[in-house]
Amino acid sequence: MEKKNIDWGNIGFGYMEADYRYVSYYKDGKWDDGALVTDPNITLNECACVFQYAQTVFEGLKAYTTQDGHIVCFRPDLNASRMIDSAERLVMPPFPEDRFLDAVKQVVKANAAWVPPFGSGASLYIRPYLMGINSVIGVKPADEYMFRILVTPVGPYFKGGAKPITIKVSDYDRAAPHGTGDIKAGLNYAMSLRPIVKAHEEGFAENMYLDAATRTKVEETGGANFIFITKDGTLVTPKSNSILPSITRRSIMVVAEKYLGMKVEHREVYFDELADFAECGLCGTAAVISPVGKINDHGKEICFPAGMEEMGPYTKKLYDTLTGIQMGTIEAPEGWIYTIE
């Protein structure tokens, strides 16, 4: 497969229109067979539930080229099941897991020319999404739905690649106190737009959200979970039912324990504890593992000993092992790698 003529090493995290997208419609209580289409545009009724009441959920995963030239995805079954959880929360019909995996395979295969080569630092971002499409004016769920997958090649999420970033404690709550951050739904992310714009204007890469009820516990950022390393090398990662259950974070917990022999703690993390940690990072499909050097709490700085020049030693080991597993240079646990072709 001839690759597109793109400077793969220099692309950022943006949208490029690939050749194919996958579409399936839900009507009269069932999903149709689905198909690949070429038109990137969607035409919907003005009163579609997605426009009026934001009835839409999405997922995010990546396809990689491995060292031996295969195209693979990392644990897409977990994206399928998380999307089912998100859909249930917004009263939408689940898109079945086997259909999800087949759709990912079809759309990535059809766009193989857009999958960045091994070693380029880029990958193919895959964005499945689901929305209510028929007209509703009273507040209620739609009866008809569209499931789609778009793909686009992407580079690093944060400018500067692996350099540590500075983030701020958000002035806003992302989730309501009763919690809605644990689903990947459009509404959650719309609520994070104002804080992210403000953070960028002030020169920060991201926001640290605290729990909305007490503002004493660390939750997550706008697009990634947190990992912390204690001075004696334990991985600590926040537990909360109002953060997205990151697939990357769940995988890192396994990598830390099983590959690196680290102690792992998944527990509530209080903001007051942060100054005691040696390293801090953000983890997610887009962020991979991005080191955090500094957190600004309304003018007061928390600086991690690992510093602003490079990743701390434990973060680096986690990063190398995780990306090695994803790119096929380190043997993966059973079932983690889904081969597309």
Ligand X SMILES: Cc1ncc(COP(=O)(O)O)c(C=O)c1O
- Catalytic positions are 184
* 303 within 8 A of 337, measured Cβ to Cβ: no
Question: Residues 62, 68, 72, CA angle at the centre, nearest 5°?
Answer: 20
CB-based closest residue to ligand X: 284
CB-side exposure of 39: number of CA atoms within 13 Å?
A: 5
DSSP class of residue 237 equals: E
Query: Nearest CA to 243 among 295, 173, 294?
Result: 173
Catalog residues that contact ligand X under the rule CB under 6 A.
60, 220, 223-225, 244, 246-249, 284-286
Task: Compute φ and ψ for 275, nearest 5 degrees.
Answer: -65, -15
Q: In angstroms, what is the minimal distance from the CB of 149 to ligand X?
A: 15
3-class state of residue 173 by DSSP: coil
Q: In angstroms, what is the minimal distance from the CB of 110 to ligand X?
A: 23
Q: Smaller CB distance to ligand X: residue 21 or 184?
A: 184
Q: Smaller CB distance to ligand X: residue 246 or 321?
A: 246
Question: Residues 61, 163, 5, CA angle at the centre, nearest 5°?
Answer: 55
Residues 6 or more apart whose Cβ sits within 8 Å of residue 38: 19, 20, 21
Q: Smaller CB distance to ligand X: residue 94 or 284?
A: 284
Q: In angstroms, what is the minimal distance from the CB of 123 to ligand X?
A: 12
Q: Smaller CB distance to ligand X: residue 167 or 244?
A: 244
Amino acid sitting at position 202? E
Q: Tokens standing for 333?
A: 């646990």
Amino acid sitting at position 255? V
Q: Smaller CB distance to ligand X: residue 199 or 224?
A: 224
Q: In angstroms, what is the minimal distance from the CB of 130 to ligand X?
A: 15
Q: Tokens standing for 294?
A: 């500094």
Taking the C-alpha atoms of residue 54 and residue 243, their distance in angstroms, rounded to an integer, is 19
